[in-house]
Amino acid sequence: MRKILTLALAASLTFACNEKPAEVDYTQLTDEERLEIAKEFTKNTILVDGHMDLPYRMYNQGNTMTGEVYDFINRQEAGNIDYVRAREGGMDAPFMAIYIPAGYQESGGAKALADTLIMMVERLASTWPDKIALAKSPEEIEENFKKGLLSLPMGIENAAAIEDDLSNVAYFFDKGIRYMTLTHGKDNLVGDSSYDDAETHGGLSEFGKDVVKEMNRLGMIIDVSHITDKTFFDVAELSTAPIVATHSSVRNFTPGFERNVSDEVIQKIAEKDGMVMITFGGSFLDQAYSEKNTANRTHIQEWLEENNLNRRDSAAQEYISSYTAANKPTVHVSKVAEHIDHVVKLVGIDHVGLGSDFDGVGDSLPEGLKDASMYPNLIAELMKLGYSNEDLEKICYKNFFRVWKAVEAIAE
């Protein structure tokens, strides 16, 4: 125990003083030693996460209807992040996803929903200004970090939010939106979604091309998560700025799952000086996990039909709960590290980061990475693979800051 404390103290002093870290071969330490150092590392290093769905979870809980502010500041049983768990895990800048479900592009109201979700994030910062602050640049995140504040930068998930009006890109940029995910679960006016077989545009639409150019002009990061490969390569050809997958994992581990990025896509992202931010959902990480989930859903649907029940029936709910609990697949935090390692081996350390999708993937999260308090477990797994302090800093924030500043510079 004394050895662990000594190592952790040395790490704490090194990180806090921002000195060149002493060379430590983390692979030679025990799991316990690595975890203690990882906790100090996350405490003293800026940690950025590319995507969290907290705003839409708050919205679903009805806080906007009552005017009540969601209790983000205290530990919650629900969801994957609150202020307490973020601080325990060393999380400093979780990007708040302004998520627009695909149905809104048909029913209308997408822009209004985006405005509401942005307002809810702003309200968190205005309610607890001694603990939380908005952030629109890497410099603001750095300043907030020095002040001990949790930064809440924002990105839009699904360009349906801009509806059919190109001027809404600038409108949302002025509201603090710093990236936009071009599609979500269905094709939209901008381009085609990896979850939709329709291939409405065969890639990026003509309107989508204008959106990409406008995002470049403004300095808004283009998020290529959720789009088809055809749409991606259209974006890569057109964009003059680096591009980012803010919450995607590696298709090599999930063959045929287009929502994840292929090696060819990863290489093109790196060629554009962008990055892939690895997401944590079990079906994104592991083929066996995904197949087991699919088998469970098929079984439950067949059982419901055989018993002439629907999911709302109490008997069905009881059966689904017990069956799911008994047959739930698992995946370990080490699998996230494997995805990161794959990107690094393919294109280098400068093109990977973290994009959990907390609050957006339900209960499919890995063992050891269930919420925002558990980032040290992932850092410890990367240490186990031989990653240095400098490598880890790049993964945690330096890569993303480099890309963000490059996008800003091209706009200027």
Q: Which helix (H) or strand (E) holds 383?
A: helix 375-384
Asked if residue 7 lies in contact with residue 33, where contact means CB atoms within 8 angstroms, the answer is yes
Q: What is the pLDDT of residues 10-63, one digit of tens each?
A: 555 455 555 555 678 999 999 999 999 999 999 999 999 999 999 999 999 876
Number of domains in the chain: 3
pLDDT of residue 2: 46
- Longest CA pairwise span in the chain (Å): 66
Chain centre distance of CA 197 = 24
Q: Is the pLDDT of residue 6 over 80?
A: no
**Which domain does 11 fall in, by range?**
1-44
| Cα 362 from Cα 90, distance rounded (Å) | 22
Do 187 and 294 belong together in one domain? no
The strand pairing partners of 222, in sequence order, are: 180, 243
Do 291 and 259 belong together in one domain? no
Please state the length of the chain.
412
Asked if residue 145 lies in contact with residue 46, where contact means CB atoms within 8 angstroms, the answer is yes
| Cα 80 from Cα 248, distance rounded (Å) | 18
Do 38 and 68 belong together in one domain? no
113-127, 272-286, 304-318 — which is least confidently predicted?
304-318
Q: What is the pLDDT of residues 245-266, one digit of tens each?
A: 999 999 999 999 999 999 999 9
Do 94 and 216 belong together in one domain? yes
The radius of gyration of the chain's CA atoms, rounded to the nearest angstrom, is 21
Q: What is the pLDDT of residues 60-93, one digit of tens each?
A: 987 666 668 899 999 999 999 999 999 999 999 9
Burial of 11 (0-12, 13-18, 19+ CB in 10 A): buried
pLDDT of residue 13: 44
Do 91 and 24 belong together in one domain? no
| Cα 46 from Cα 64, distance rounded (Å) | 31
Asked if residue 127 lies in contact with residue 110, where contact means CB atoms within 8 angstroms, the answer is no
Do 3 and 26 belong together in one domain? yes
Q: What is the pLDDT of residues 313-362, one digit of tens each?
A: 999 999 999 999 899 999 999 999 999 999 999 999 999 999 999 999 99
- Count the neighbouring beta carbons within 10 Å of the beta carbon of residue 380: 26
Do 206 and 322 belong together in one domain? no
Asked if residue 246 lies in contact with residue 322, where contact means CB atoms within 8 angstroms, the answer is no
Do 38 and 65 belong together in one domain? no
Q: What is the pLDDT of residues 140-180, one digit of tens each?
A: 999 999 999 999 999 999 999 999 999 999 999 999 999 99
The DSSP output letter for 388 is -
Do 9 and 60 belong together in one domain? no
Do 230 and 94 belong together in one domain? yes
Do 226 and 257 belong together in one domain? yes
Do 170 and 303 belong together in one domain? no
Of 58, 36, 46, nearest to 15 by C-alpha is 46
Domain containing residue 253: CATH number: 3.20.20.140
Average pLDDT (112-122) is: 97
Asked if residue 319 lies in contact with residue 303, where contact means CB atoms within 8 angstroms, the answer is yes
